[in-house]
Structure 1
Amino acid sequence: MNRITTALLAALEALIVVAIGVGIALVPLTILWGTHYGLGIDWFVFWRAAVDVWLLGNGVDLAVQLPVDVTTSLGLAGAEAPFSLTIALLGFAVLAVLLGVRTGRRAATTDYRLTAAGVAILSYGLLAALLTYSAGTVVVTPAPVQGVLLPTLVFALGVLIGASGSPRAAGTVLPGWAARPLADLLGRIPAEVRSQLVAALRAGAATVAGIMVVSGLAVFVSVLANFATVIGLYETLQADVMGGISLTIGQLAFIPNLVVWAASWFVGPGIALGTGSSVSPLGTSLAAVPGLPLFGALPHGTLEFGFLGLLVPVLIGFVVAVLVRQGLDKRANAPHGPVPMLVTGALTGVVAGILLGLLAWWSAGAMGPGRLADVGPNPLLVGVLTFVEVGIAAALGMLVGGRRARSTDKRAEEVSTKR
């Protein structure tokens, strides 16, 4: 393929990714428009609603000004004043990243890698701009700059991950004018320090991944254990078939948020579901919460052994550090001695704290007016406590991992000598 064909296909793929994201919300809303409203309402009302959901899922803030009759029927304190919706439905962002990875891998297999990746990201940004400026109404107004930048950055993250992960693209992700200065900068760092930094990045990312896996399992088990409560909340909403389907799709998009919230619970700070509320290993204290059936899976009351959840990040950080240390010792120019290992463990905690703090920040936000402006974990507390817990555990793991590696080598030498 020539450059023009590659660029056109990349633009088409960006269009498909946007269509999938918007279509997830638009299709059930369109069916609802035909079956429940009998085509009696302007379809663009549902179009704008679907675009708003897609934008919210990519982290875009929505400014809301509800009509007087709606605020009266809701009875929520503060609903009559303008408020913001800032909590992202992370399922849409995760989908955009995954589809972006696919786009990046395809771009890396072409002869014009940078052209394909650049055109895909640029096309996605143009489409995001068109959608943002088509979605504004008197009731709901998306932040225009965020609407253009945030969805594009989410998709670009996936494209870069996909392009850099392709074997054919190894060493060619960045253009020459950017790759050479970066290589020169890395070359000035001593080899042992580079090994420490790489080990800390790998261990920190692996620790956060492990915490997220355990958190996902915990959410799954909690939903199963409280399934009757979840179904009961569904019944109290008295939604029809299409309303129930739309609600279910919205909750599926919210599951990544719950997984991050579970990770924050394991770390210690837990989450808030409104100002003054708390869900943490020490207990649950809630007032009125948003009427999402999935919230029925949240822990209730005081958990006698809830404090044991704090061991999850500690144990994962320790095990990951042991494994990383054993692999680190096999490399040339590997750092040795307790002090470098303690520093590497501390850096692991820094990486894990930054990553989990960013995830906590991305998963939190405002879900409504008044006290619902504070929903989700506190990212600063999550980041700091993750740094402390994982940092200490990783430092110990780095030290113990070296001892285990040496004892394994001695046993191997003894066996070979006997033979």
Structure 2
Amino acid sequence: MHRVLVSLLSALDSLVAAAVGVAVAVAPLTVLWIVVFGALDLGAVWQTSAAIWQLGHAVPLHVTLPDLYLAQTGIDPALAGFAVSLPPLGFAAFTFLFAARSGARAARAGAWVTGVVTGLLVFTAFATLVAITGAAALVRVELWQAILFPSAFYGVGVLGGAIRVAWSDGDDGIIDELRARLDTRPGAWPEFPSLAARGGAIVLTSLSGVAALLLAVVLIVRGPQIVALSQSANLDGLGAVVMGLGQILYLPTLIVWALAFVAGPGVALGAGAVVAPGGTQLGILPGIPILGALPESTSPWLLALVLLPVAAGAFAGWAVRSRLSPRGGQADAESTGLLIALTATIGVLAALGAALLAVLASGALGPGRLSEVGPDPAALALAIGIEVGLGAGILLLAPRRRPGEETTPTPDAATPGRDGWSDGAP
């Protein structure tokens, strides 16, 4: 495909990814504004939508409440300024996945570098436009963060999607040159990058699925508490819809919280409050309905959940080992050094991925004790690294019979001969 066409399609993809994300915030806010105030203030709607979109890409919001509002509500003036930095990762997940799709398509067209550069430049220009035009007096963002953070999500997604396809299909360029250099190494070492990446991806995908399933179960079991909090808020129909949409956008964030719970470290909910399998201590939480899913207490039996990351690591180890192709013999393909390196790399990749997710799913929800909520990245990375490494090592390092290897019994006095008598019998 011609490079100009690839550039145009990549630019269109980045515009769609950015525009759809902003539209998700603009549409309900427009309806809410008309119903509540009777007249549409386009400037206010755009500024609010821009702030929501930026928060969804991990851009911290610095909120300053006006003096009139403080006087009417009786809020302590010391709490007039605070940060909101816990992102609804639904926005970031959409941007990342859409970008990965665009990068993969550019790689299949044979011009992945052109597609990646064009898409990233256009998305960065859109983020810059949103940051400049969406500036507001009550909600302030750092300009460089408002530009860099959304662009980073798109850039990592489009680059990752492009490299994945170029690595598997070839690109007649830098990726093929790198693979050619790796192919000069003996045994199965040329397959090491793809096998390690596959193992890490399997682990993170499996753990995300397990965490999502756990969250679904908790939402069902704790449904009455969630409904009670919704009713206590006394929201009208439109308010309930807006609240529901906001909580849906936070579902990816809650999945990361569930992952931290499964791994063991749990989730901090401010000073002195934590939800973990080993014990739960809750304080006063805001009346957000979805927070009703948090349990007041936990059982020590829930510590058995840490076996799930071990199982995910074992599954990844089995999947990686089954794809080892013998080059110069099975012994070369499954050299001890290669298997140890794969085990360690899969554990490290899983730990780094979990730490990154924990960073993205942590932040501030408001002033005071809500200034720090979410999982601890270091603790989660350590737990996931150990658990996944243990599981992967069980399947990767365990000895197994090589194909074609047979056990030949050694004849002795008790072994019957072909005539039915034991060898050596008269």
Q: TM-score normalized by structure 1?
A: 0.87
Q: 3-state DSSP class of the match of 1:136?
A: coil
**1:151 equivalent in structure 2:** 150
Q: Which residue of 1 aligns with 2:417?
A: none
Indicate the residue corresponding to 1:383 in structure 2.
381
Decide which structure has greater helix share: 1
Q: Provide the C-alpha distance between the structure 2 equivalents of 1:356 and 1:207, rounded to a whole number of angstroms.
A: 10
Q: CA deviation at 1:8?
A: 4.0
1:184/1:7 CA distance change after superposition, 3 Å = closer
Identity %: 32
The aligned residue for residue 85 of structure 1 is: 84
Q: 1:111 to 1:190 in 2, by over 3 A?
A: closer
Instruction: Return the alpha-carbon distance in structure 2 between the equivalents of residues 27 and 185 of structure 1.
Output: 52
The partner residue of 1:295 within 291, 296, 303 is 291
Residue 265 of structure 1 and its aligned partner are, at CA, apart by 0.8
Report the AA paired with residue 381 of structure 1.
A
Offset at residue 104 of structure 1 (A): 2.4
- The C-alpha deviation readout for 1:121-164, integer Å capped at 9, x for no partner, is 21111010010112222211122111111111211222223333
TM-score by length of 2: 0.85
The answer for the alignment partner of 1:286 in structure 2 is 282
Counterparts of 1:167 and 1:15, CA distance in 2: 23
Q: Is the 8 A contact 1:62 1:142 kept in 2?
A: yes
Query: Any stretches of 5+ residues in structure 2 without a counterpart?
Result: 410-426
Give the corresponding residue for 2:424: none
Deviations 1:209-261 (A, max 9, x none): 11111111011111111112111111112222222222111111111111111
Counterpart CA distance in 2 for 1:244 and 1:358 is: 32
User: Which of 183, 196, 203 is the aligned partner of 2:199?
Assistant: 203
Q: What residue ranges of structure 1 are gaps of 5+ in the alignment?
A: 415-419
Per the TM alignment, residue 298 of structure 1 is displaced from its structure 2 partner at its CA by: 1.9
| Residues 1:217 and 2:216 aligned together | no
| 2:256 pairs with 1:257 | no
The separation in 1 between residues aligned to 2:272 and 2:55, in whole angstroms, is 25
Aligned twin of 2:342: 344
Q: 1:364 to 1:73 in 2, by over 3 A?
A: farther
Matching of residues 130-279 of structure 1 within 5 Å: 130-166=129-165, 170-172=169-171, 176=173, 179=175, 182=178, 186=182, 192-279=188-275
**Contact 1:267–1:382 (CA under 8 A) maintained in structure 2:** yes
> Aligned-pair distance for 1:109?
5.0
Aligned residues: 407
In structure 2, C-alpha distance between the alignment counterparts of 1:263 and 1:224, rounded to whole Å: 18
Alignment-derived partner of residue 19 in structure 1:
19
Report which of the two structures shows the higher radius of gyration computed on alpha carbons.
2
1: distance between equivalents of 2:248 and 2:94?
12
Structure 2 residue 320 is the aligned partner of structure 1 residue 321: no
Which residue identity is paired with 1:35?
V
The RMSD of aligned alpha carbons is 3.0
* Preserved contact between residue 77 and residue 370 of structure 1 (Cα < 8 Å): no
Secondary structure in structure 1 of the residue aligned to 2:280: strand
1:417 aligned partner? none
**Aligned-partner Cα distance in 1 for 2:139–2:206:** 38
Paired AA for residue 85 in structure 1: V
Paired position in structure 2 for 1:29:
29
